[in-house]
């Protein structure tokens, strides 16, 4: 500890006169009264140290700064958290904003408290391109801290909740930014961790700050519901209480009103007005045991007719955050649907407090369905995901997909249950089973019926994935997967495949350039190669080879640098102009990451081709008869002699100029002929058109020149076609 740092022992240990205690400390200590006296003394000490450390600091509202961390600790005390969490909450801003150090906190309150404070401490002011990226990076690091100890996120959520309660002191711009972040990130995290009380307040405060007028209107409409609706609720409550008592079910019956935010989101999602959102009110029945839950369900269904499509059993299949309850919607006496939730006392506690309802933070709770266990599994998957994503923003987008609670519940062939985000496809399911299953997926069986991977899934379906060892992810997969894990895994695998293609192609290009200098990569001394890689800032040879393929390094220049000092060997001849007929690099068409096909001439397998080396794009392939080739002759060092391999794969773009009689149905006949030739049409456009003749450009996909010739033959046979020509 440096002389400038005050020792923690120099701070006052306690306030001797109870009358001197500020009101905010009294309120906090009342909330923490469940703790033993010795632990409450530690809280008093933490407050005294925090108050001294933050002395002179104020919030934007003008209050002493220490009132904020104590209010955060009170939020957690109301949830019944342990003493270490409460101490860390009181001191959560001290490392960043005061002279106190992590080491000092560890000495005074133990390593756990110091680690929690360190995990919650705001990040150093790093240089980011914009505020959005800064927020994403903060979020990424927050999740990594959560992986070490879940209590970090509890403190962070309580911190955000108190900031939202005191948002009025902020500027209008800051209020909007903080409210949006709360609704998009923090409230969904609270929901994902099962902390519904905190989630509901965060949503309500965020909605009020973001749309004050809309919030006020909906809140007023809830308060002034028609008398007939209120009377019906009283009648339903009396009926349910009477019937449950007759069945000798010990229960608590609680009437509840939906929040303005949940009503607003339903109005937006279903495009309804307030009067059309009927199920504003509902009831919760809390009973002793799981069998009592199903008994109570039978009672309420006997009292009022249920809406069949609205029944959900979250006891048999819990939500991803551990939430368990029976949900049903009844026809009320005045035609208004009334939602009823049925659960046990323990389920009710977990539903309201989530991971805060149990104490085994380090070891994942009690059994696979506990809130802790599920939270740990979720965070472990996030940690795996963040290692694979390219940027913080990409990671944040993936996590936001997983945060929103609409889920489908699916069965594996062995009967295990997987929960996935709404609109998930069979491919999302494959990646949820295992990354390797997703990477090798080719199709799926849903309820024993063969379906493509893009098929959307519905709750209750049994899904089996069909794989093939030779299968690899396709870029098109990114267009229809919805889960963060699938998106991250596909991107990572595509980058890996592109990198491998680039390394192989770069190797062939460098070998060819070295052969022209009468040497080879194997004959270049290892020390010289290492020196060149070090001077050029390449960590490995593979990185250099990939850069050559991508056009960022010219193979001729690299070859000259590697070959120029071969001892006792005359320098080979420089490559003034590659001879396109010799030593061609053969391509299969699958090297899409580093080879692209020019739109000006659309080369196909079977065409005579040449390659042009373009920085950042790799090799752009042109037909030899392309009009643009003449311009490329001016840069012979960028020419690459290439040809088609014997095995060519994939579909290639081609364009046809088709002249037809301008009569009804002509376009349909041409399209049908192209389809009969097993070719896909990407686009059709009219080039010329008058009363007698129409000239159209068809952009199609074919396998090679033979396939294109077959398409052209089938089109020429049509009576309406006057001419067909490849463009």
Q: SS3 letters for 645-678?
A: CCCCCCCEEEEEEEEEECCCCHHHHHHHHHHHCC
Spatial distance between the Cα atoms of 622 and 635, rounded to a whole number of angstroms: 15
Q: How far is CA 74 from CA 197, 357, 634, 636, in A?
A: 14, 16, 75, 74
Spatial distance between the Cα atoms of 716 and 727, rounded to a whole number of angstroms: 16
Q: Going by C-beta distance under 8 Å and a sequence separation of 6 or more, which residues neighbour residue 35?
A: 43, 83, 86
Radius of gyration of the chain (CA): 34
- Are 696 and 685 in contact, with CB atoms under 8 Å apart? yes
- Are 550 and 542 in contact, with CB atoms under 8 Å apart? no
- Are 180 and 203 in contact, with CB atoms under 8 Å apart? no
- Are 639 and 580 in contact, with CB atoms under 8 Å apart? yes
- Are 307 and 282 in contact, with CB atoms under 8 Å apart? no
For CA atoms 533, 538, 543, 547, give the dihedral sign.
Answer: negative
Examine the residue annotation and report whether 352 is marked as an active-site residue of this protein: no
- Are 29 and 77 in contact, with CB atoms under 8 Å apart? no
- Are 441 and 493 in contact, with CB atoms under 8 Å apart? no
For CA atoms 670, 672, 677, 681, give the dihedral sign.
Answer: positive
Spatial distance between the Cα atoms of 119 and 109, rounded to a whole number of angstroms: 15
The 3-state DSSP class for residue 629 equals helix
Pairing of strands 693-702, 463-467: unpaired
Spatial distance between the Cα atoms of 437 and 377, rounded to a whole number of angstroms: 19
Q: Which helix (H) or strand (E) holds 463?
A: strand 463-467
Catalytic residue among 97, 346, 637, 704: 97
Examine the residue annotation and report whether 97 is marked as an active-site residue of this protein: yes
Q: SS3 letters for 389-426?
A: CCCHHHHHHHHHHHHCCCEEEEECCCCCEEEEECCCEH
Catalytic residue among 63, 78, 96, 515: 96
- Are 555 and 521 in contact, with CB atoms under 8 Å apart? no
Find where tokens 């491919």 sit.
427
Ranges assigned E (strand) in 112-245: none
Spatial distance between the Cα atoms of 521 and 528, rounded to a whole number of angstroms: 11
Both structure tokens of 549: 């393929």
- Are 193 and 371 in contact, with CB atoms under 8 Å apart? yes
- Are 715 and 658 in contact, with CB atoms under 8 Å apart? yes
Task: Give the residue numbers marked as catalytic.
Answer: 96-97
């Amino acid at each position: 500890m440096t002389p400038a740092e005050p020792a923690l022992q120099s701070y006052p240990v306690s306030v001797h006169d109870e009358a001197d205690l500020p009101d905010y400390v009294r309120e906090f200590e009342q909330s923490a009264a469940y703790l033993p006296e010795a632990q409450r003394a530690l809280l008093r000490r933490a407050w005294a140290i925090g108050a001294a450390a933050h002395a002179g600091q104020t919030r934007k509202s003008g209050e002493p700064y220490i009132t904020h961390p104590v209010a955060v600790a009170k939020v957690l005390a109301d949830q019944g958290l342990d003493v270490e969490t409460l101490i860390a909450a009181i001191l959560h801003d001290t490392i960043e904003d005061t002279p106190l150090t992590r080491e000092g906190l560890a000495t005074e309150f133990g390593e756990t408290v110091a680690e929690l404070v360190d995990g919650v401490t705001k990040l150093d002011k790093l240089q980011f391109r914009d505020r959005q990226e800064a927020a994403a990076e903060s979020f990424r690091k927050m999740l990594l801290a959560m992986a070490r100890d879940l209590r970090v996120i509890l403190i962070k959520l309580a911190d955000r909740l108190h900031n939202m309660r005191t948002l009025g002191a902020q500027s209008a711009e800051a209020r909007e930014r903080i409210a949006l972040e709360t609704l998009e990130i923090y409230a969904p995290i609270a929901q994902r961790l099962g902390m519904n009380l905190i989630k509901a307040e965060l949503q309500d405060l965020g909605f009020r700050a973001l749309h004050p007028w809309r919030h006020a209107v909906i809140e007023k409409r809830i308060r002034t519901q028609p008398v007939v609706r209120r009377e019906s609720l009283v009648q339903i409550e009396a009926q349910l209480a009477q019937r449950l008592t007759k069945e000798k079910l010990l229960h608590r019956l609680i009437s509840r009103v939906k929040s303005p935010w949940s009503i607003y989101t339903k109005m937006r999602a279903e495009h309804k007005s307030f009067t059309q959102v009927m199920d504003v009110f509902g009831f919760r029945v809390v009973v002793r045991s799981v069998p009592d839950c199903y008994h109570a369900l039978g009672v309420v269904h006997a009292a009022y007719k249920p809406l069949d499509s609205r029944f959900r059993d979250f006891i048999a299949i819990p939500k991803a955050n551990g939430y368990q309850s029976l949900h049903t919607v009844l026809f009320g006496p005045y035609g208004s649907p009334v939602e009823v939730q049925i659960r046990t006392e323990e389920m009710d506690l977990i539903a309201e407090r989530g991971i805060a309802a149990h104490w085994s933070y380090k070891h994942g709770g009690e059994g696979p369905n506990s809130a802790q266990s599920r939270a740990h599994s979720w965070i472990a998957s996030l940690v795996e995901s963040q290692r694979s994503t390219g940027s913080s923003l990409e990671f944040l987008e993936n996590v936001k997909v997983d945060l929103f609670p609409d889920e489908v519940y699916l069965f594996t062939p062995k009967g295990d249950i997987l929960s996935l985000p709404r609109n998930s496809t069979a491919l999302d399911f494959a990646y949820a089973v295992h990354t390797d299953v997703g990477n090798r997926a080719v199709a799926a069986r849903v309820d024993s019926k063969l379906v493509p991977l893009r098929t959307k899934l519905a709750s209750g379906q049994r899904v089996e994935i069909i794989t093939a060892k030779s299968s690899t992810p396709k870029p098109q997969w990114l267009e229809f997967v919805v889960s963060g894990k699938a998106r991250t895994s596909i991107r990572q695998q595509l980058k890996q495949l592109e990198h491998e293609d680039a390394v192989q192609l770069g190797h062939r290009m460098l070998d060819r350039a070295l052969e022209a200098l009468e040497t080879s990569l194997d004959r270049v001394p290892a020390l010289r190669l290492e020196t060149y890689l070090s001077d050029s800032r390449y960590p490995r040879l593979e990185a250099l080879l990939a850069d050559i393929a991508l056009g960022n390094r010219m193979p001729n220049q690299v070859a000259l640098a590697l070959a120029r000092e071969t001892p006792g060997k005359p320098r080979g001849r420089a490559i003034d102009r590659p001879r396109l007929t010799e030593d061609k690099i053969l391509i299969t068409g699958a090297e899409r990451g580093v080879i692209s096909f020019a739109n000006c001439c659309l080369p196909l397998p079977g065409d005579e081709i040449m390659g042009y080396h373009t920085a950042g794009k790799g090799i752009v392939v042109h037909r030899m008869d392309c009009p643009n080739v003449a311009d490329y002759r001016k840069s012979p060092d960028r020419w690459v002699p290439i040809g088609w391999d014997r095995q060519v794969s994939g579909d290639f773009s081609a364009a046809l100029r088709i002249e037809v009689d301008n009569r009804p149905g002509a376009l349909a006949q041409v399209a049908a002929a192209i389809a009969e030739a097993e070719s896909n049409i990407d686009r059709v456009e009219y080039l010329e058109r008058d009363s007698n003749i129409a000239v159209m450009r068809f952009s199609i996909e074919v396998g090679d020149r033979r396939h294109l010739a077959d398409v052209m033959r089938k089109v020429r046979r049509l009576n309406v076609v006057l001419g067909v020509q490849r463009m």
